[in-house]
Amino acid sequence: MSRKKHHGGWVILTSLLIGLMFTIMPLPSWAVVWRPDWVALILLYWCIALPQRVGITSAWVVGIFEDILTDTLLGQHSLSLICLSYISVKLHRRIRAFPIWQQSVGVFALMLLSEILSIWIRGILGAQSTDWSFSYPAISSMLLWPWIFVMLRDIRRMYHVF
């Protein structure tokens, strides 16, 4: 916000904070494995919409905070968010041109990648998990993406974030 040409940084910040809050919101135990990766979804939107503002550095900072909130290894969420944001910033022109349902499929692939990264780190740390439950967040994120996309786009236009 220090530079004049940017506008509405607080909107991005608030949306990410709300995403962090949803991440630690208590859910019934059957729903915990289905919890969509809120922070990654919101970050992904901003990476596609404003790649000049939100990128790898913001992904790293947000990831560190998510690690602290969920008490995982410092850098675990950062790593997957950095990969996510790198790919989406690189491909933002192409992703923008897709219709929403195709974007959802892309989101599914990206989320699966980040979940595989985190399951890989957990595996190194000695966690035993062999079922497919790690992929459920990717599915729920995919289903949620159109709504997140439309909602954040309207918010961005309403508050003139650029």
Partner 1 sequence: MVADYRYSYVKQIRTELSVAMYPLQYLVNLPVQTGQWLSQNFSTRGQLLDEMAQLRERNLLLQVSLQKYEDLKSENERLRALLDSSIKLGERMLLTEVLAVDLDPFARKIMINKGISQGVFNGQPLLDAYGVLGQVTNTGPQSSTVMLITDPNHALPVQVVRTGLRTIAMGMGATNRLKLLYLPNNSGIKVGDLLVTSGLGGQFPAGYPVGTVAEFTPDIGQPYAQVQAIPSAHLERNREVLLVWTSEEKAATGSSEQKP
Instruction: Compare residues 120 and 162 and give the one whose CB is closer to partner 1.
Output: 120
The residues in 101-130 that bind partner 1, with binding defined as CB under 8 A, are: 121-122, 125-129
Question: Site size for partner 1, by CB under 8 A?
Answer: 31
Q: Which residues contact 66 (CB under 8 A, 6 or more apart)?
A: 20, 23, 39, 72, 77, 78, 81
Cα distance between residue 111 and residue 44, in whole Å? 10
Cα distance between residue 108 and residue 127, in whole Å? 24
21 binds partner 1 (CB under 8 A): yes
74 binds partner 1 (CB under 8 A): yes
73 binds partner 1 (CB under 8 A): yes
Looking up tokens 């219709």, which residue turns up? 99
Residue among 11, 33, 113, 116 that touches partner 1 (CB under 8 A):
33
9 binds partner 1 (CB under 8 A): no
3-state secondary structure 95-160: HHHCCHHHHHHHHHHHHHHHHHHHHHHHHHHCCCCCCHHHHHHHHHHHHHHHHHHHHHHHHHHHCC
70 binds partner 1 (CB under 8 A): yes
Name the minimum Å distance from CB 62 to partner 1: 12
Interface contacts to partner 1, rule CB under 8 A: 17, 20-21, 23-27, 29, 32-33, 35, 64-65, 68-76, 79, 121-122, 125-129
